[in-house]
Structure 1
Amino acid sequence: MKTVSLLRGGLWITYATFVTRIFVFLSNLVLARLLQPSDFGVIGIAYVFWSFFTLFTQDTAGAFIIYKGVDNPKYVNTTYTISLGVGLGLGLLMAISSPWVASFFNEPALVGILIVFAFNLLLSSATYVYSGVMTRRMQYQALANISLANSITRLLCTTGAALLGLGYWSFVIGDTISWIVNALLTRYYSRHRFRLQIDPEIRSEVLTFCFGSVGASLGFYLSFNADNFTVGKVLGNASLGYYNLAYQLSMTLSGISSALLNQLGMPVFAQLPIDKQENALFKVVEQIAFLTAPIYALIFLILDPSVVTLIFGSQWIPICTVLPGLLFYAYFRVVNSPLYSMLVAKGRPDLNARVSLQIAPLAVLSFIAGAYQGGIIGVSIAVAAVLGILWTLYYWWIACKHLHWSMSRFLRPCFIPILLSIPGLAISFHLPFIVKPFTFLFAYLVCIQVVAPQQIVQYQALIHKLYDRLFH
């Protein structure tokens, strides 16, 4: 696989995910001005249940196609048919359960919202399969164009609905129209015509892989959504609105990284020789860690109350109290995402499932304790401790144990950049706003030069290599 092709693919994916996140940020910016925190809280509850049902369709059938390939029509058609059946069944279940959800949270509007989301769920079950085909074929430019179209559609629709005074329904309208556009475009650009067919010999293999992926997704769901659930139930819609916006802001970079690694990393890792996979994963983790640690530190320094007031309005100042814990967790989510992609590429989603399901109960208990003891700040601290540090240590231990790799080799690049960021944060924290970023970056580079000088050399070599390939 040529380096230039991978570079181009990576640039297209980065472009697509970056543009998507920018449009999501713009949408949140506009809606934060037009809507109330309680509106964000209502839709935040709906998204918790949307996330639960999509864990049975996202990263399951599409991931199997990436892992197995598209050459055998029996595999592809069986995967597609199972995905549609699961989507239809789950959509009906979501619609049927919506009155109970609305009653539990004492929010009648959730009935209508979840019924619309049930329709979106069926669309997503087909879309993920089409996207899996395109990802396996590395049609990254087409995927980037689709992401751009979806992002523009969602921004225009949510903004227009909010201007019409539709409140939290603005999110529902924007999401639904975006999913329709997504389904139509992925079907067109994939240029793959599926048949409704379930091959008895293929079915068990597809289901085994998908069950492993669902197990991983279920654990991730419990861990990554229980905080929102807990805040909404214990602390109310307004607190959930603050927490939800802070969560979305802090997860922007991890969303870009996860999309990049899932779409580019999985097919690349899957096609690497077994003896080269460990070293490839180490290089990816090392570079991601040293590059993203200062970015999250800069976000922490920049998003102070004055900036939040300027961008979102003074009513959103409480998000500043939860951002540190969420940013800390977001960093570890980024550096752990290559391992997730590698395990799926090696046909071991069961290891992802094992870790996520075992940590989920502890995470849920820590969120509840944090909510009662410290409100949304307590929840953010629990997220940082359990989903950040504990998850990282246990995840790499399980994976390295089963793959017979060195755990310490991978943990060093995960934690060293965090430690190297501390001096710069301490020095620049109380400085004037305009000089904070420059002071921090200077201090961070000095620390790298002292502790890990090979990183500077690697960056210089990478810049020269990219320059030579792109312009010569």
Structure 2
Amino acid sequence: MRLIGVVSTIILARLLTPQDFGVVAVAMILVGLFEMLNLTGQSAAIVRHDAPTREHYDSAWTVTLLIGIAIAVAILIAAPFTELYFHEPRAIPVMQCLAFRAVLGGLENIGTVDFSRELRFDRFFIYNVLTKILQFVLTVVLAIMLHSYWALVIGILAGQVSRTILSYVMSPFRPRLSFARTREIWGFSIWTFARSVAMYLQTQVDNIAIGGIAGSAMMGRYTVAKDIAASPTQEIMNPMVAALFPVMSKCRQNPVELRQLYLRMLGWSAIVCLSTGVGVAMVAQDLVAVVLGPKWTDATPLVVWMALNAATAAVLSGTPTLLDVKGMPAMGARIQWSRFAVFTAVVFIVAWTTRSVMAVVETRLIVSALFIPSVIFAVQRATGVPARDYWTAMWRPCAAAAAMALAIFALNAVLPFTGAGRMVLDILVGAATYAGAVLALWHLSGRPEGAEADILTLCRRVHVRLMALRLPQTADEKRA
């Protein structure tokens, strides 16, 4: 599903201009700021509930729908004031059109939450992929026909329409208006909402700051660079985290098992984030030239820093889930709001003092890195997971990432060519170096339980299945 989004961005970057992306990005900043009010965590409250009734589902759907309507009204009222800060009048009609996405989102069938609650990730996959495919096809076709940012706008709305319709096709549940369990659901979801708001605002602070100091063209380059740089990390981590909550909820009464699951997730996060973040940063020059084309060359240094920031920010992405499962969503909210407050103050000071986009990007990475120790300390006090366990889970991927960076740097120093050929060689050499270093360090550490052991187990299972396909079956085996 996420690969479709990446391919869509690559194709659209060649069909549309940075200004087109910039107009939609400006509109989406304010639309997203309002839509975050719907991140109230009703679905998470139902997933976590031991035995939710129909009243729980109906109450969650009713609140979501009413919030969606209120968001749409707020966007329509605020749209004309967009030009005062961003100086982009074309964003006003875009916002007015996108206001209806909030209503459509509020109408989604709450019954689809059972896909996660029952660990039916096959249904979850189909539900999301079909929507993404329709949006991708329609947006690309419109971009070819219109060569305008309206292709992006219509594609966004079409994606939400298809998602809402599909939610009723795939789930037999039919919601109805009810407020019977609103108070109970909000007792948990209000803190999830507070944390979600802080997380979203943190992702938009740099966009808001840059929107005030740069034009729509730079905003477009920044948005696309951010998408390309962060996608490999986020698009692997997001599904993992989505699967983590319902699985952790099943074992929340067993502290030992819950802790082991969290540390296992931490090891996986480190392996994924460091390999993708450092890998994208090392091939950024060829990546931009080959994937986006010459009109996006100025985005190359942005991709480098944003890839590293995406890896740093996502490495502890399983922590809020642990706090939610342990019944401490308030702590997760406080951590995110503290990070948001510090990040906002620093980014706006840097942006309006230097008026440099690169300075903002570098500041993002520095703040994200400096905040990791404080998060580890807070989680240690709340859950009893010691700091040394974090180090045990992450030091091998860190060392392997450094080895990969050195290998790619040395290779590029001797290669006489650039472009697609060099990028492919960098990826192959980098992947081999990273995998070899991780496994070698794991063996030297005594082969502890963790992500590396999981990877080897998965490889063995794949090998067994491939061998079973290749080996001829006997007559008795065929009859069996």
Distance 1:114 1:462, change over 3 A: same
1:437 aligns with 2:427: yes
1:463 aligns with 2:442: no
1:288 aligns with 2:269: yes
Per the alignment, residue 270 of structure 1 pairs with 249
Per the alignment, residue 380 of structure 2 pairs with 400
1:73 aligns with 2:90: no
Residue 175 of structure 1: CA displacement? 0.6
Checking the alignment, whether the CA contact within 8 Å between 1:293 and 1:421 is kept in structure 2 is: yes
Residue 317 of structure 1: CA displacement? 0.9
- State how far apart, in whole Å, the 2-side matches of 1:52 and 1:349 are: 22
Checking the alignment, whether the CA contact within 8 Å between 2:237 and 2:272 is kept in structure 1 is: no
1:219 aligns with 2:219: no
Deviant stretches of 4+, over 6 Å: 469-472
Distance 1:456 1:162, change over 3 A: closer
Per-residue deviation, residues 263-284 of structure 1 (Å, max 9, x unmatched): 3211100011332111111011
Checking the alignment, whether the CA contact within 8 Å between 1:293 and 1:417 is kept in structure 2 is: yes
Residue 333 of structure 1: CA displacement? 3.2
Query: How much identity, in percent, do the aligned residues show?
Result: 18
Number of residue pairs matched by the alignment: 449
Residue 355 of structure 1: CA displacement? 0.9
Unaligned runs of 5+ in 2: 416-421, 469-480
Per the alignment, residue 448 of structure 1 pairs with 438
Per the alignment, residue 307 of structure 2 pairs with 327
Checking the alignment, whether the CA contact within 8 Å between 1:261 and 1:337 is kept in structure 2 is: no
Per the alignment, residue 114 of structure 2 pairs with 133
Distance 1:274 1:333, change over 3 A: farther
Instruction: Output the aligned Cα RMSD.
Output: 2.5
- State how far apart, in whole Å, the 1-side matches of 2:79 and 2:392 are: 46
Checking the alignment, whether the CA contact within 8 Å between 2:88 and 2:216 is kept in structure 1 is: no
Distance 1:383 1:92, change over 3 A: same
Larger displacement relative to structure 2 (439-448 or 189-198): 439-448
Among 272, 275, 281, the alignment partner of 1:300 is 281
Per the alignment, residue 206 of structure 1 pairs with 185
- State how far apart, in whole Å, the 2-side matches of 1:470 and 1:346 are: 41
- State how far apart, in whole Å, the 1-side matches of 2:431 and 2:142 are: 41
Per-residue deviation, residues 226-247 of structure 1 (Å, max 9, x unmatched): 1111111112212211111111
- State how far apart, in whole Å, the 2-side matches of 1:393 and 1:470 are: 44
* SS, match of residue 148 in structure 2: coil
Residue 350 of structure 1: CA displacement? 1.9
Per the alignment, residue 91 of structure 1 pairs with 72
1:211 partner letter: I
Residue 416 of structure 1: CA displacement? 4.5
Checking the alignment, whether the CA contact within 8 Å between 1:363 and 1:386 is kept in structure 2 is: yes
Per-residue deviation, residues 350-395 of structure 1 (Å, max 9, x unmatched): 22211111111221232224434372221211111112x1232222
Checking the alignment, whether the CA contact within 8 Å between 1:42 and 1:237 is kept in structure 2 is: yes
2:87 partner letter: N
* SS, match of residue 135 in structure 2: helix
Checking the alignment, whether the CA contact within 8 Å between 1:41 and 1:232 is kept in structure 2 is: no
Distance 1:119 1:410, change over 3 A: same
Structure number with larger C-alpha Rg: 2
Per the alignment, residue 27 of structure 1 pairs with 8
Unaligned runs of 5+ in 1: 1-19
Output the TM-score relative to the length of structure 1. Answer: 0.88
Distance 1:117 1:458, change over 3 A: closer
1:260 aligns with 2:239: yes
